[in-house]
Copies of this chain bind each other. A is one copy, B any other.
């Protein structure tokens, strides 16, 4: 069961990645009530394959949190490794938003964290504190902003209600527009952290259909998962 030469082990790994990605997406949309069936369906595997890898639903979520914490720490240390204080801070923020600790918020507090998890969290917090302090000393970060402010802002930006609704309704034709719009919103919000005025808003101005579509039920009838 360890390392077999060349078998379908690569498909196994691929399935596992798909499973983790699907779990994070479904968790972001459905919250705590996310069902294992929908996770497996989104990953394109059967529930049997899910339960062969994770003995229970909670075990899968724990693994997810552990991975997110690792990405969180990595993002912070990478940011610290950068020379420019502001760029380092933004690297951390962007990566942290992307890895989505915010989307894991519904799971938080539902199980006792392992020692490894608390350890990773502490290391990450220390790195972020240094990141913030460095940016303050360079006068590029707005005065008064604390690490907690930054983390809460990141969490606030982690979710994407618009993209969630789009994928819930299966309107794939608007995915690109939604992603562009989301990047603009994130850029605007993060620029509120700047001590100096920001440049122009990046990307294309979003079309109006993104906002207008929200209230009308989907045409095709494709709702929920698959």
Interface residues of A (CB under 8 A from B): 29-33, 102, 105-106, 108-113, 117-118, 121, 125, 142-146, 148-149, 151-153, 155-157, 159, 161-162, 164-165, 168-169, 181-182, 184-185, 187-198, 200-201, 205-208, 210-211, 213-218
Q: A217 touching B149 by the CB < 8 A rule?
A: no
Q: A192 touching B191 by the CB < 8 A rule?
A: yes
Query: In the assembly, what is the distance between CA of A181 and CA of B196, in Å?
Result: 23
A198: chain B residues within 8 A (beta carbon): 142, 192
Task: Name which residue of chain B comes closest to A189, CB basis.
Answer: B189
Additional pairs, 20, CB under 8 Å, beyond known A108-B215, A109-B214, A151-B211: A30-B31, A30-B32, A33-B33, A105-B165, A112-B217, A144-B201, A145-B188, A148-B181, A148-B205, A149-B181, A149-B188, A149-B206, A152-B184, A152-B210, A153-B188, A156-B157, A156-B185, A187-B192, A188-B193, A192-B198
CB of A172, distance to nearest CB on chain B (Å): 15
- Copies of the protein in its oligomer: 2
CB of A147, distance to nearest CB on chain B (Å): 8
4 nearest A-B residue pairs (beta carbon)? A192-B192, A189-B189, A191-B192, A188-B192
Q: A109 touching B169 by the CB < 8 A rule?
A: yes
